[in-house]
Amino acid sequence: MTAAAKTDVIIYVVSDSAGDTGELVVRAAIAQFHPIHADIRRAPFIQDEHALLRVVEQAKAQGAILLYTLVLPNLRSELSRLAEEKGVVTIDLLGSLVASLEEKTGRKSRQEPGLNHALDEDYFRKVEAVEFAVKYDDMRDTTGILKADIVLVGVSRTSKTPLSMYLAHKKFKVANVPLMPELKPPDELFKLRKDKIIGLTIGVHYLNVIRKERLKALGLPDSASYATTSRIEQELTYASDVMEKLGCVVIDVSHKAVEETASLIMEHVTRRS
């Protein structure tokens, strides 16, 4: 997001580990309020009360929400105290669940941050997939197309990048390719098995609204050709022709959250294997 972009809400994700869990939950919630713009800021590997105080003071100054996934009880209680003292809205993502599990099982939690990130093969596969998605995002390097588990194609603002990152966290290597009339699709697309390609389409009106909001967020007039109905229709017609040539599955992402579209994609991938 650029400096000119409008931010609707700032959310700090505070963790005594990496903060992946908290950020995923925040993004899932934010998806229900599209197209608001959230500034998600991680405060990872918090170890002491001084670090907590700094984060709470920053959140107070910016009118932010604090979501935390603190495993250590002393850090949880101190954050709760500080937030109440400063009048900061907080959400404890783990505390209540851990307490309920302790009561139900009669066992104490291990109170070890980062256990869900044990450095096993599964974790490294996820890291590798995320790095792949970043490297081969938006056709920066077309060599990734033939290496990918999934290739997403579609016009601008059909959620290609968010879907790539979401699927990467599910350990899929995803490349994505923008389709526009002025840009010839890479030859690698036509060498790939069609069941590895997912076409993303969207309704004209819905895309018009999304693109206008994007232009406003960038401080640009919403009358730019990028968001006009005629330009959108031209792009979608072109993209539809390319997808037909590719023979790929096409998913309409209109009014769908990223998680819902990703679920449909994973179902398709499961069926092909």
What letters, b where the CB count within 10 A reaches 16 and e where it falls short, cover 71-88? beeebbebbbebbeeeeb
Residues placed in the known binding site for ADP? 154-161
Residue 58: partners with Cβ closer than 8 Å, 6 or more residues away: 12, 64
Question: How far apart are the C-alpha atoms of 146 and 271, rounded to whole Å?
Answer: 20
Give the end of a domain, one of 101, 117, 133.
117
Given 96, 117, 138, which residue is the final one in a domain?
A: 117
Same domain, 86 and 66: yes
Q: Indicate if the pLDDT at residue 177 is higher than 70.
A: yes
- Please tell me the predicted confidence (pLDDT) of residue 120: 60
pTM over 0.85: no
Instruction: Flag whether 3 is in a domain.
Output: no
CB 130, CB 164: distance < 8 Å: no
Q: Which of 67, 102, 117 is the last residue of a domain?
A: 117
Q: Which two tokens stand for residue 35?
A: 């197209």
State the CATH number of the domain containing residue 26.
3.40.50
Answer yes or no: is 230 within a domain.
Answer: yes
Q: How confident is the model at residue 30 (pLDDT cuts 50, 70, 90)?
A: confident
What is the count of structural domains for the chain?
2
- Tell me: the pLDDT tens digits for 75-103? 989 999 999 999 999 999 887 777 788 88
